[in-house]
Structure 1
Amino acid sequence: MIDMTKGDCGKLILKFAFPMILGNIFQQIYNLVDSIVVGKFVGANALAAVGSSFAIVVFVTSTIIGLTMGVGTILAQFYGSGEIEKFKEATFTSFIFIGGVTIIIMIISLLGIDLILSLFNMPNELIKDSKEYLTIIIVGLIFTFIYNLATALLRSIGDSKRPLYFLIIASLINIILDLVFVLKFNMGVRGVAMATVIAQATSAVLSAMYVYKSVGIISFKKSDIRISKGIFRDVIKYSILTSTQQSIMNFGILIVQGLVNTFGATVMAAFAAGVKVDSIAYMPVQDFGNAFSTFVAQNKGAGKIDRVKDGVRGSIKIIIVFCVVISTLILIFSKDIMYLFINKNEIEVISLGAEYLSVVSIFYVLIGFLFMFYGLFRGLGHLKVSIVLTIVSLGTRVILAYILASTWLGERGIWWSIPIGWALADIIGIIYFHKNINSDINLEDNKISN
């Protein structure tokens, strides 16, 4: 466990974020393997179906993940302030509330799957594979809930290593089952989906068992199993607002994916591969933003708000260095990266995918700053600001994508709409920070010095 209320801010955040980054690398690897196995051994249409369906999956799961992220913030605040009884009550309340929401999402998604695919402009030739893939993944959402709640709890007390271990195991299982189900049993898209759910179930069971048996801070007595109005209100506030932010973010991506689908299977396959690379490339700064949120929340709970400014300075330096390196690598190897996803004879898919990466990867530093702002405002409890930034980023992307795609730019207009949305959200984040948060921190500094 890491106490973030003492020591060098930048080093603490980086140390805490590192296992999260590694864990998500493994998670993205098994998502990546899904696409590689499907694209290489099933075909471009199957890759388009899985890639396009994955955007729907991300939107559905973002609600659950957002709920647990919000709860993680309030748990970190209680842990930082030493309010262990409230910590336990918030944990129990979160389990009941988020578990119930997950079941509702599963039922609605399964009943409405045909309508979802219709609204999503899914081409007829891809509907069968997409429906099969989505049905299996949706059934596994219960495991997504269990793992992410356990992870949020562990991270709130400064333990980011255990979730990494569980994800590594799940990733290896997923990769092995992908190859077995698709190559040996010829199960196609269905095999990829089943491999993913089995891997998620493994990580969920392992994380839940560890929390129950090894985390002494939540050794419940009968008296701890209760829900008070105040804690329930806090859990609702943090979880719903954070979930809303995540849902808005992924709903915008979903709308853009619907636009991409109107360009046909070739553009869909290129976009699917490009988005997969994106998710891995800037995932470390996303995890860094989540780690920063825990840092801010713990220090707020401990009454050490003055440390937040130092955390911001350290975070900016780390984000710039990382994004410059990763952007350079992707610019150099964009076409070689596409060869991982699709056979070399799919020349048009490879060319479009490489073009997408060449445009978007230049601006990764912008989304790095945006994730930092999300973490900062969430950790301080300014959750509505994060929602505003998300609406600006995604709203701009959606509007510009539809406008530019209707011009001579075609699908290339979609590529350019993405960094423009990031830039506008960053500008608003900077303005809000300097006008509100920065002045509050300076005021707190003056109180301490006096």
Structure 2
Amino acid sequence: MLRNTHALNKKLFLFSLPMIGSLLTQQLYNVADMIIVGQFIGVAELAAVGNAGTVLLLFIVISGGIELAVEIIFSRYIGKNDQYRLAKGTTNILVFGALLGVLLAAAGFFLLPLLFKMMNVPEQLLQLTKIYCHIYLLGVPFIYIYDISRAMITSLGDAKKSFYLVLTSSLLNVVLNLLFILVFHMGIAGAALGTILSQGITMCISLMILYHKSKSNPYFQLSVSFDSIQLKEISRIAVPSIFQQFVITLSSVFLQAFANRFGNDVIIGFIAVTKVLAVSRIVISGFSQTLSIFSAQMFAGKKYTDLKQTYRFLTQASLLYAAFVSLVFLVFSEQLCNFFFNSQQHPEGYLFFRSYLIFSIGTLFMTVFKFMNESILRSALRMKEYLLCNIGDLLVKVGSTYLLLTLASSDAFWIGEGLGRLLAFGLSAYFVLQIKRTISLSIKEPPSI
């Protein structure tokens, strides 16, 4: 028994490493623009890219929802050895994603003025933000195809290739950004152009890898014939996930609008701390994504004992990591800030950055359980409960931040995030306990998650 447990833990950890590497590299890909722009162009341009990034997320959230749905549904197909649906889904979902990417990119050009107004983008940042957004929108279809094809590669058991794809994309992004900014002096337009070109190149590589992996499937064909049953399966997970991601992004729009009231120093402090926090959660997200993939197969195969061990091991590993990150936040807050802007030259921005960072430590530990519990909810196809946890989190976060702005000033941001995460932590734990009871009743044994 101990040997089997050790073997499962080792398998989970080794599978998680490229997943974490992919997520970390992907997040660094997003942060690279900020660091390069902040270091080599200027603070105004950094604030503009931060505002642009918040707006652009609204047009790529569907990609994230479909990507998540593909990983879970394809993992269930693998658990059932359903080669037919794997083959059909590969072409159908890619084409569907590409069409969505084109439509959303087109919609973006019409909606940008309204979104800029909603966010209270300062007048001095408006033109720079607009330039970055217009160029980036041209690459949205590339992002959709790339994200979905990479999710398929991961589901087929090749997390390493998925990591190499993200690494390649990130390195290309850095090289092209530096080339366009330092050599061709294209400014903020060069940052946007480097980003979409790196996505387009990696998309082509991803499609080639996926084709070579899929052609051994006897049912695979380079043709499209949409399967209504399969689309419903994907939609069952994708629609709530997309809605959740959309609400997350919309909440970011509101929070960015709140931060824009305080001037450039708080704007750059807010942009920097949100990027640092996003990177700090990558390992937890990687363990959570591993839990989603493995637990989807275990639910399909009714391997509840393995599911219990998987949840326990990945949660414990995440808590150890959270303790390490907390120490880094306490000791190296100024060094982290200086990646984005000079803390000495912008003391108000640094004060905001450090306060938010330090008080987010408690939130980080709640995030571990929130992410792990939500992975169980997704894999068990409890999407209503999953959605309720996330929407509750975001509504409390945005609402309490808004209400506290007058009383707590800029401290309202970290207080609001903590209150929202506390609610999500409690709800997700309650829903997972319900699943435990259901499993226990179905097999007439003690709870096994």
- Name the TM-score class by shorter chain: over 0.9
> Aligned equivalents of 2:277 and 2:216: distance in 1?
37
Report what 1:124 is aligned to. 123
Matches within 5 A, 1:26-425: 26-216=25-215, 218=217, 220-222=219-221, 225-343=224-342, 344-407=344-407, 409-425=408-424
> Aligned equivalents of 2:382 and 2:283: distance in 1?
23
Report what 1:440 is aligned to. 438
Distance 1:206 1:80, change over 3 A: same
Instruction: Tell me which amino acid in the other structure corresponds to 2:204.
Output: V
C-alpha displacement of 1:60 = 2.4
Note the alpha carbon deviations across 1:248-299, whole angstroms, 9 max, x for none.
2222222211211122222111100111111111111112211211011111
> Aligned equivalents of 1:361 and 1:339: distance in 2?
20
Instruction: Tell me which amino acid in the other structure corresponds to 1:392.
Output: G
Note the alpha carbon deviations across 1:317-370, whole angstroms, 9 max, x for none.
111101011111112111111111113422222222122211213421211221
Higher mean C-alpha deviation, range 440-449 or range 98-107: 440-449
> Aligned equivalents of 1:318 and 1:194: distance in 2?
38
C-alpha displacement of 1:214 = 3.2
> Aligned equivalents of 2:28 and 2:403: distance in 1?
34
Distance 1:334 1:260, change over 3 A: same
Instruction: Tell me which amino acid in the other structure corresponds to 1:244.
Output: F
> Aligned equivalents of 1:194 and 1:423: distance in 2?
40
Q: Is residue 52–residue 257 contact of structure 1 (8 Å, CA) maintained in 2?
A: yes
> Aligned equivalents of 2:222 and 2:171: distance in 1?
40
Note the alpha carbon deviations across 1:292-313, whole angstroms, 9 max, x for none.
1101111122232442222221
Instruction: Tell me which amino acid in the other structure corresponds to 2:85.
Output: K
Higher mean C-alpha deviation, range 360-369 or range 203-212: 360-369
> Aligned equivalents of 2:5 and 2:222: distance in 1?
33
> Aligned equivalents of 1:219 and 1:31: distance in 2?
38
C-alpha displacement of 1:160 = 0.8
2:340 counterpart SS class: coil
Q: Is residue 85–residue 224 contact of structure 1 (8 Å, CA) maintained in 2?
A: no
> Aligned equivalents of 1:155 and 1:446: distance in 2?
35
> Aligned equivalents of 1:372 and 1:425: distance in 2?
12
Identity %: 24
C-alpha displacement of 1:172 = 1.4
TM, length-normalised to structure 1:
0.93
2:360 counterpart SS class: helix
Cα RMSD (Å): 2.2
C-alpha displacement of 1:31 = 2.2
Report what 1:12 is aligned to. 11
Equivalent pairs counted in the alignment come to: 443
1:278 counterpart SS class: helix
Instruction: Tell me which amino acid in the other structure corresponds to 2:251.
Output: G
Distance 1:243 1:14, change over 3 A: farther
Distance 1:394 1:313, change over 3 A: same
> Aligned equivalents of 2:183 and 2:6: distance in 1?
52
1:410 counterpart SS class: helix
2:409 counterpart SS class: coil
2:444 counterpart SS class: helix
2:339 counterpart SS class: coil
Distance 1:370 1:211, change over 3 A: same
C-alpha displacement of 1:447 = 6.9
Unmatched runs of 5 consecutive residues or more in structure 2: none
Instruction: Tell me which amino acid in the other structure corresponds to 1:345.
Output: Q
> Aligned equivalents of 2:149 and 2:323: distance in 1?
33
Note the alpha carbon deviations across 1:183-236, whole angstroms, 9 max, x for none.
222211111111111111122111111111234455655597433332222122
Q: Is residue 9–residue 314 contact of structure 1 (8 Å, CA) maintained in 2?
A: no
Higher mean C-alpha deviation, range 91-100 or range 410-419: 91-100
Q: Is residue 253–residue 394 contact of structure 1 (8 Å, CA) maintained in 2?
A: no
1:226 counterpart SS class: coil
Higher mean C-alpha deviation, range 116-125 or range 360-369: 360-369
> Aligned equivalents of 2:267 and 2:409: distance in 1?
13
Distance 1:199 1:218, change over 3 A: farther
Structure possessing the higher relative contact order (Cα contacts under 8 Å, 6 or more residues apart): 1
> Aligned equivalents of 2:375 and 2:157: distance in 1?
16
> Aligned equivalents of 2:115 and 2:232: distance in 1?
32
TM, length-normalised to structure 2:
0.93
Distance 1:244 1:218, change over 3 A: farther
> Aligned equivalents of 2:141 and 2:319: distance in 1?
37
> Aligned equivalents of 2:350 and 2:222: distance in 1?
60
Instruction: Tell me which amino acid in the other structure corresponds to 2:444.
Output: N
Q: Is residue 245–residue 390 contact of structure 1 (8 Å, CA) maintained in 2?
A: yes
> Aligned equivalents of 2:14 and 2:339: distance in 1?
31
> Aligned equivalents of 2:170 and 2:79: distance in 1?
32
